[in-house]
Structure 1
Amino acid sequence: MIVRRAGEADVATLAELRGVDGHKLSAYADWVAAHAETHLPFVAEVDGHVVGAAWLHVAQRVPSSESLDRWYGDIQSVKVREEYRNRGIGGALMAAILAEARVRGLLHVTVHSGRRAVDFYLRNGFRHHRQILLWEPTAS
C-alpha cells in the first residue's frame, strides 16, 4: 500500500469516491483546483489502484495576543472502498494526514464523524472534547 498526496491526475477518482456524477466532474475539478491550498487530498493505493481517500482542510483561526499564526485542521470525506476495509488503509490515511498536520504545526485537528466511524477515530488518536459545540439551522 502507498499513501500519498493526491494530484491533478487523481481528480476523477476522488470525484468517484465522493459519488460525484460524471457530468459534474469538470466543476468538481475546478473546485479542487481552486481549493488546493486549503483542502489537501490524500489517497491510498493498492497495486496501483486508488482504494481510499481522505482530505485535510487547513484553516486559520483569528490571531491572539499569544500567536498571530494559529492554523488548525479538519478531516473530511474519508472513504475506503468497501472491499478494502479492515485492512489498515483508513489508519494509513490518518497517519499521513496527522503527519502533515505535525509538519504544518497545526494547533489541532478535528473530525465530524458518523456514529459508525467514532471508534476508528478514537483508535487513531482522536478523543471526545467537551468544548466542541454545534449549531445547525432549523428546517423552515
Structure 2
Amino acid sequence: MIVRRAGVADVAVLAELRGIDGDQLGAYADWVAAHAETHLPFVAEVDGYVVGAAWLLVAERVPGNGSPDRWYGDIQSVMVREEYRNRGIGAALMAAILAEARTRGLLHVTVHSGRRAVDFYLRNGFSQHRQLLFWEPAAS
C-alpha cells in the first residue's frame, strides 16, 4: 500500500469516492483546484488502484496575543472502499495526514465523526473534547 498526496490526475477517483457522478465532475474539479491551498487530499493505493482517500482542511485562526500564526486542521471526507476496510488503510491515511499536520506545525486537528467511526479515531490518537460545541440552524 502507498499513501500519497493526491493531485490533479486523481480528481476523477476522488469524485467517485465521494459519489459525485459525471455531470458534476467538472464543477468538482474546479472546486478542488480552487481549494488546493486549504483542502489537501490524500489517497491510499493498493497495486496502483486507489482504495481510499481522506482530506485535511488547513485553516487559520484569528491571531492571539503573542501568537500571530494559529493554524489548525480538520479531517474531512475519509473513505475506504468497503472491500478494503479493516486492513489498516484508514490508519495509514490518518498517519499521513497527521504527519502533514506536524510538518505544518498545526495547533491541533479536529474531526467530525459519524458514530461508527468514533472508535477508529480514538485508536488513531484523537480524544473526545468536552469544550467542542456544535450549533445547527433550526429546521424550517
TM-score band, normalised by shorter chain? over 0.9
Matching residue of 2:103:
103
What's the CA shift for 1:21? 1.2
Q: Deviations over 1:8-47 (max 9, x none)?
A: 0000000000000110000000000000000000000000
CA distance in 1, matches of 2:109, 2:38: 14
1:16 equivalent in structure 2: 16
Stretches of structure 1 that go unaligned for 5 or more consecutive residues are none
Q: What is the number of residues matched between the two proteins? A: 140
**One-letter code aligned to 2:78:** V
Unaligned stretches of 5+ in structure 2? none
1:86 alignment partner, SS class? coil
Q: State the Cα RMSD in Å.
A: 0.3
| TM-score (normalizing by structure 1) | 1.00
Matches within 5 A, 1:1-140: 1-140=1-140
Distance (Å, rounded) in 1 between the aligned partners of 2:86 and 2:55: 19
Identity of aligned residues (%): 85
Q: Once the 2 structures are TM-superposed, how far is the Cα of residue 66 of structure 1 from its aligned partner?
A: 2.3
Runs of 4+ aligned residues of structure 1 deviating over 6 Å after TM superposition are none
**Aligned-pair distance for 1:98?**
0.0
TM-score by length of 2: 1.00
